Structure 1
Amino acid sequence: MKKLLSLSTLILVATLFTGCAVNLPYNNRLNYTSISELSALPKVQDTVYIKWNPETFPQRIDIQGSDGFVGGGTRTRIPTGVALSSRIEEAIAQIAKLSSNGSPLTITVEKARSGFEYTAGILNRAPAIDVADVTLVATFEYKGQKWTNTFNSKLKDPKMGGSSQTGLLDKAWDDIAVQVTKDVSKHLGNN
């Protein structure tokens, strides 16, 4: 009986530490507020082609645990590259025309990380992200100009239990896309 109890305990502990896969519903489009904010920026005459380096960044999905105690052992699928690249392209399209025939704007991703924490609580039916901490370090090249910048967005949901499963992380990605576009706008306007 003692061996059976020990074995059961060992299996339970191993299961807790290996984590489980968590798939959350993400949005890969900019929200209306971000688009409205970008529409106030001056438009540039240049036609731009966005080239990602590495080329696979727009398909990148990270499998990671939460930064906090709750969900630290999970294997959560976080579409960092998918979310950031689609939002950045949509954001830049608000200030410049995008076309495969345009002048290349090369975005080299030095670092991209989507940190998050889940809401703590036993009564939560589904995991909700209540802290989002996104960082993007990128080097840009456009018509002989080259510059590197770091973009950060750290958000915390004040509502106990989280407002939505992924809304805070979506909002942080939107914020990064707006920051990138404002930075790129300064350089596109110089040509």
Structure 2
Amino acid sequence: MAGLSNPISLFRTAAQSAPGVEAVSSQDTAALQAEVLALFDDLRDRLLRYSLSFGIARHDAEDVLQECFLALFRHLQAGRSRENLSGWAFRTTHNLSLKRRASVHAEYRAAVPEETAQIQVCDDGPGPEEHVLFSERQERLRAVVRALPETDQMCLRLRADGMRYREIAGTLGISLGSVAASLARSFERLQRMDAR
């Protein structure tokens, strides 16, 4: 699946070969396609950013989105719940991104010697002083975020993407109180880092 394109051809294939799904009329299939395409257009950029936040390459994140929307089409085609489809898409993207990251890391470790993996590439910044200050601040920020538990990191990323607390709770499968506590801890740590 090269590039992130409109998944209509995937839907056609899925509509013809979905196991365990009763025959659906072409009119119903067209309505499902239109519904999923509308969600694709609405959520594509947000889901792509979320998938990229797992540290996977863009082409892998694009593949994750293709898989997510194909799964959504099959989900709806099977007559399953339509409640909070955007949350469903984020949760599916979350799970698929974790799987993709694990498989990419396993392939990378098998293919790249350890000495090569530790080589760092310098970034061309606007000016030496500005670059140093910006880089130091960004590294402190990254260190604070990396030090957070994975659930706190995911809550922070989803909140930064504009999701409400209830949507984050549904996406990650945790309570609303856990989301609030997680974000409060994360914001407190980030503020302490910024005060230094």
Normalising by structure 1, report the TM-score: 0.31
TM-score normalized by the length of structure 2: 0.30
- Higher relative helix content: 2
Bigger fraction of residues in strand? 1
